[in-house]
């Protein structure tokens, strides 16, 4: 396992040996084309971060609510699949990162070690224990709602779309947890009368985005229609989102852009265009820009959230622009945000290193749409 100094040296070599992430200008009348792509060198580099943490149980922030004196749990025993990376949800999307990289780059460096690490965690028995945790009592049934739930569905979908024997095995093992969370979404959404619009874990727009993708791929009409109906109820009448109020100091998600990102899924292209131009008119017509968020202390677990915000803004903007040439100008804004935080992922501090690679990777995935 790499220590922070080895990782920093590796990153320095990466910067010297690879083309920089650059924003390339376009000429008059040209559509802007992003030059930021995920290549093998970047993939090898980004894989080091989740590998550094998915098997590392400490430090750890537990989301466990203690029911009584007998309810004191060792988190490794309670969560034998997702016990690393400081918290449960980061372990979940750390596994997604590695699977996405293995899928995208069959010759990924250290791939056998990566497969072995995932194999150790995503066993049938470990997932059964994860499922059992949600059934302990009423205080655990909504554990990691909805952020962790969303990442498990994202992880499962990545496995479903990878033609590899290990993907089939891990998907089979993970299925009981995935099925449980699908049912939890179905029970939760009818009771959620109002959306949660904050820029952190409980954000409703983000919490439904991966669930929608999973339901659509698997033709789960009951969940798909529920998400569509709830999102229209929550958001369809929204106008003039105050994006100039963003970011709040601890945001890693943009309340305005995450809302737009789920609405582009549930509305038709024409419906979305009409909605978006009322919701974020200045951004839609290109008369305003977004400035990447700055971070003053990357050893502070809350302040470093803003690097995540830059990546999540990028994935929303790339996705909105995909297939919509009238929003091509958003790609350059996305590139600026991705550029701003990309070379700051590795700073030797676990506060950001345990999760930011996943955010950078999802932004890069959306840039390839």
Q: What value does the mean pLDDT take over residues 147-157?
A: 98
Does the pLDDT of residue 14 top 50, yes or no?
A: no
Joined together, the tokens standing for residue 110 give 């250290």
Residue 216 CA to its chain's centroid (Å): 18
Q: What is the mean pLDDT of the chain?
A: 91
For residues 232 and 262, the answer to whether their CB atoms sit within 8 Å is no
Total of domains in the chain:
1
Does the pLDDT of residue 179 top 70, yes or no?
A: yes
Q: Is residue 301 part of a domain?
A: yes
Q: Cα dist. 264→15, 224, 321, 322, 343 in Å?
A: 35, 14, 10, 10, 30
Q: Which residues contact 25 (CB under 8 A, 6 or more apart)?
A: none
* Dihedral sign of CA atoms 207, 82, 251, 345 in order: negative
Q: Is residue 33 part of a domain?
A: no
State the pLDDT at residue 345.
85
Q: Please tell me the distance from the alpha carbon of residue 202 to that of residue 54, in angstroms, as a whole number.
A: 23
Q: Is residue 48 part of a domain?
A: no
Q: Is residue 138 part of a domain?
A: no
The boundaries of the domain holding residue 288 are: 231-369
User: What's phi and psi for 103, nearest 5 deg?
Assistant: -65, -40
Burial pattern 141-166, b for ≥16 Cβ within 10 A else e, equals eebbbbbbbbbbbbbbbbbbebeeee
Percent of the chain with pLDDT over 90: 82
Does the pLDDT of residue 23 top 50, yes or no?
A: no
Q: What value does the mean pLDDT take over residues 34-48?
A: 91
Local confidence band at 327 (pLDDT 50, 70, 90 cut-offs):
very high
State the pLDDT at residue 22.
45
Does the pLDDT of residue 133 top 90, yes or no?
A: yes
Q: Is residue 148 part of a domain?
A: no
Q: What value does the mean pLDDT take over residues 131-137?
A: 92
Q: Is residue 159 part of a domain?
A: no
pTM summary value? 0.92
Local confidence band at 137 (pLDDT 50, 70, 90 cut-offs):
confident
Q: Which residues contact 50 (CB under 8 A, 6 or more apart)?
A: 85, 94, 95, 97, 98, 357, 358
Q: How many residues does the chain have?
A: 369
Does the pLDDT of residue 17 top 60, yes or no?
A: no
Q: Is residue 149 part of a domain?
A: no
Q: Is residue 226 part of a domain?
A: no
């Amino acid at each position: 396992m790499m220590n922070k100094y080895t990782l920093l040296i590796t990153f320095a070599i990466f910067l010297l040996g690879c083309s920089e992430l650059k924003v390339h200008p376009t000429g008059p009348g040209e559509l802007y084309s992003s030059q930021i792509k995920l290549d093998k060198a970047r993939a090898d580099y980004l894989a080091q971060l989740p590998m550094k943490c998915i098997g590392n149980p400490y430090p750890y922030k537990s989301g466990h609510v203690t029911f009584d004196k007998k309810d004191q749990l060792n988190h490794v025993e309670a969560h034998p699949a997702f016990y690393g990376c400081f918290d449960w949800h980061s372990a979940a999307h750390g596994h997604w990162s590695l699977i996405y990289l293995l899928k995208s780059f069959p010759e990924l460096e250290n791939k056998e070690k990566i497969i072995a690490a995932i194999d150790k965690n995503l066993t049938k028995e470990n997932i059964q224990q994860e499922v059992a945790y949600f059934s302990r009592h009423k205080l655990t049934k909504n554990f990691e709602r909805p952020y962790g739930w969303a990442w498990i569905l994202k992880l499962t979908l990545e496995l479903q779309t990878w033609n590899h024997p290990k993907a089939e095995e891990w998907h089979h093992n993970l299925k009981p947890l995935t099925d449980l969370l699908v049912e939890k979404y179905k029970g939760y959404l009818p009771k959620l009368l109002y959306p949660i619009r904050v820029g952190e874990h409980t954000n409703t727009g983000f919490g439904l985005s991966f669930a929608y993708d999973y339901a659509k791929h698997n033709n789960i009409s009951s969940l798909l229609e529920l998400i569509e109906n709830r999102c229209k109820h929550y958001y369809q009448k929204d106008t003039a989102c105050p994006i100039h109020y963003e970011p709040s100091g601890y945001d890693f998600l943009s309340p305005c852009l995450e809302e737009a990102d789920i609405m582009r899924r549930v509305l038709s292209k024409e419906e979305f265009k009409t909605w978006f131009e009322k919701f974020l008119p200045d951004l839609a017509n290109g008369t305003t820009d977004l400035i990447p968020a700055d971070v003053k202390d990357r050893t502070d677990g809350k302040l470093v959230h803003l690097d995540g915000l830059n990546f999540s803004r990028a994935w929303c903007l790339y996705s909105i622009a995909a297939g919509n040439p009238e929003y091509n100008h958003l790609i350059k804004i996305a590139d600026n945000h991705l550029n701003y935080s990309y070379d700051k992922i590795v700073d030797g501090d676990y506060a950001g290193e345990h999760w930011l690679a996943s955010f950078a990777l999802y932004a890069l995935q959306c840039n390839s749409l």
